[in-house]
A = this chain, B = another copy of it.
């Protein structure tokens, strides 16, 4: 599976969430991670992140069967990785 994970969490938890997600995925820009990952690891990632965040925080996991479904365009500074730049 390919994931894009975005998060909107309280400032006090950003570093912890960031550090945790870096174990599973590639940092792309602030609050955005991406990467190839197995279903088992997705489950363990979700279990772990659920222990870190609070109810008012928000994490969206976008799951795709294959990365080829995604065409991405970068505008400005590609902070995390290179892709088809503008």
Binding site for B on A (CB under 8 A): 4, 6-9, 28-32, 46, 49-50, 53-65, 69-79, 86
Closest B residue to A9 by CB, please name it: B76
Contact A31-B8, Cβ < 8 Å, known A53-B76, A71-B64, A76-B53: yes
Given contacts A69-B69, A86-B46, A74 and B62 within 8 Å (CB-CB):
no
Are A73 and B60 in touch, CB under 8 angstroms?
Answer: yes
- Closest CB of chain B to A84's CB: distance in Å? 10
Nearest-Cβ distance from residue A17 to partner chain B, whole angstroms: 10
Measured between alpha carbons, how far is A9 from B76 in the docked complex, in Å?
10
- A70 CA to B1 CA, complexed, in Å: 11
